[in-house]
């Protein structure tokens, strides 16, 4: 059987890391696309040379022409600009919306059957716009944020409690902003929901509150440290987990920004919820039970996403 073809639109920090991980895992042949000339070609060649060390038969190619993504099974989009210290993800909207238009049209023309994973920020609005610009089926266009935010949450819990990250299942839903919703009751340490883990003395309520706060600001913490860009290792790993679930029909339930049509009482927007990803793309949305507090946090987060979508419509009338 032919290898899968993975097109990475944007060959910057995340794009390069995606190419490296996809090649190491032999997930498929990789096309690294960017408007910058030389960057995708140089990174593709560098990683291609590394395949002789780690022993992977996949091919890698850099490109500046959308024709090279033809027939891609998966497109992962990181094209755009990342945050600098002091910026919020929302500050990127003007520039990155224009980028989504070009990328959406490129995918529509050359890879209309692909499963598309958007990473570009502000995520929930950019994946919404990318779906509109590309016209691809909504179940084939998703946003990567929840896997990353949940991974941060899980890591902080593991660091605090000394329990393996493998035995922590953390869930963060809602939009990919500082008002995201870490789902404390649904997240578990060794099978114990977090309130029970506090009662059992695995961590204090104060520790848990501080971890929830740090999770919400996790992206900004990295931006402040790096000073020249935003996180790239964990975002790339998160998108690879999603791509793998689609390509291998794993049917994993992962928190992703997906198109909602009635689930969680919401319609016509993308926001982070648990979604089953398989060969059909988003095959099912899982609805968590939510109490009044969780509902209120989710509502606030969704209102931020709706504000960003409105800002997109104000910038580009074709989206209205």
Q: Name the residues annotated as catalytic.
A: 176
Q: Which is nearer to ligand APR, 175 or 235 (CB)?
A: 235
Count, residues near ligand APR per rule CB under 6 A? 29
Per CB under 6 A, 72 contacts ligand APR: no
Q: Which is nearer to ligand APR, 103 or 254 (CB)?
A: 103
Per CB under 6 A, 132 contacts ligand APR: no
Considering only CA atoms, which of 169, 172, 171, 173 is closest in space to residue 158? 169
Which x/- pattern, by CB under 6 A, does the window 298-317 give for ligand APR? --------------------
Burial of 214 (0-12, 13-18, 19+ CB in 10 A): middle
Q: Which is nearer to ligand APR, 65 or 159 (CB)?
A: 65
Choices 224-232, 243-251, 253-261, 281-289 (CB under 6 A): range interacting with ligand APR? 224-232
Q: How many CA atoms lie within 13 A of 124 on its CB side?
A: 32
Residue from the set 8, 13, 208, 211 that interacts with ligand APR by CB under 6 A: 13
Residue from the set 41, 56, 120, 304 that interacts with ligand APR by CB under 6 A: 120
Tell me if 15 is assigned to a ligand binding site: yes
Q: How far apart are CA 304 and CA 82, in angstroms?
A: 19
The distance of closest approach from Cβ of residue 181 to ligand APR in the complex, given in angstroms and rounded to an integer, is 19
Per CB under 6 A, 78 contacts ligand APR: yes
Near ligand APR in 92-111, by CB under 6 A: 92, 96, 99, 102-103
Per CB under 6 A, 232 contacts ligand APR: yes
Tell me if 185 is assigned to a ligand binding site: no
CB 129 within 8 A of CB 319: yes
Considering only CA atoms, which of 127, 151, 144, 89 is closest in space to residue 319? 127
Considering only CA atoms, which of 54, 74, 64 is closest in space to residue 3? 74
Residue from the set 58, 75, 119, 136 that interacts with ligand APR by CB under 6 A: 119
The distance of closest approach from Cβ of residue 137 to ligand APR in the complex, given in angstroms and rounded to an integer, is 23
Buried b (16+ CB within 10 A) or exposed e, 94-115: eebbebbbebbebbeebbeebb
Choices 66-74, 114-122, 170-178, 179-187 (CB under 6 A): range interacting with ligand APR? 114-122
Q: Label residue 175 left, alpha or beta by phi (over 0 means left) and psi (-120 to 50 means alpha).
A: beta
How much of the chain is in helix, strand and coil states, percent to nearest 5? 50, 20, 30
Q: How far apart are CA 231 and CA 226, in angstroms?
A: 8
Footprint on this chain of ligand APR (rule: CB under 6 A): 9-15, 34-36, 39, 78-83, 92, 96, 99, 102-103, 119-121, 229-230, 232, 235
């Amino acid at each position: 059987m032919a290898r899968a073809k993975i097109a990475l639109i944007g060959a910057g920090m995340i794009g390069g890391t995606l190419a490296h991980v996809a090649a190491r895992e032999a997930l498929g042949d990789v096309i690294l696309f960017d408007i910058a000339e030389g960057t995708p070609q140089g990174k593709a060649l560098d990683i291609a040379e590394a395949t002789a060390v780690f022993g992977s038969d996949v091919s890698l190619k850099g490109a500046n022409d959308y024709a090279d993504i033809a027939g891609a099974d998966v497109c992962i989009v990181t094209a755009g600009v990342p945050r600098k210290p002091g910026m919020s993800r929302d500050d990127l909207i003007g520039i990155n919306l224009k980028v989504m238009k070009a990328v959406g049209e490129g995918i529509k023309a050359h890879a209309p059957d692909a499963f598309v994973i958007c990473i570009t920020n502000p995520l929930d609005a950019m994946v919404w716009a990318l779906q509109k610009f590309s016209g691809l089926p909504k179940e084939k266009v998703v946003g990567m944020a929840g896997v990353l935010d949940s991974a941060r949450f899980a890591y902080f819990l593991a660091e605090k409690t000394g329990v393996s990250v493998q035995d922590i299942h953390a869930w963060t839903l809602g939009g990919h902003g500082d008002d995201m919703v870490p789902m404390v009751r649904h997240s578990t340490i060794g099978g114990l929901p977090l309130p029970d883990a506090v009662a059992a003395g695995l961590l204090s309520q104060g520790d848990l509150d501080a971890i929830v706060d740090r999770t919400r600001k996790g992206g900004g913490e990295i931006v402040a440290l790096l000073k020249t860009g935003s996180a790239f290792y964990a975002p790339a790993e998160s998108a690879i987990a999603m791509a793998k679930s689609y390509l291998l029909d794993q049917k994993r339930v992962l928190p992703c920004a997906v198109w909602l049509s009635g689930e969680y009482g919401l319609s016509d927007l993308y926001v982070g919820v648990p979604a089953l990803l398989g060969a059909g793309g988003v095959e099912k949305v899982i609805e968590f039970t939510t109490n009044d507090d969780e509902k209120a946090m989710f509502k606030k987060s969704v209102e931020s996403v709706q504000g960003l979508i409105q800002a997109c419509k104000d910038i580009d009338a074709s989206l209205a």
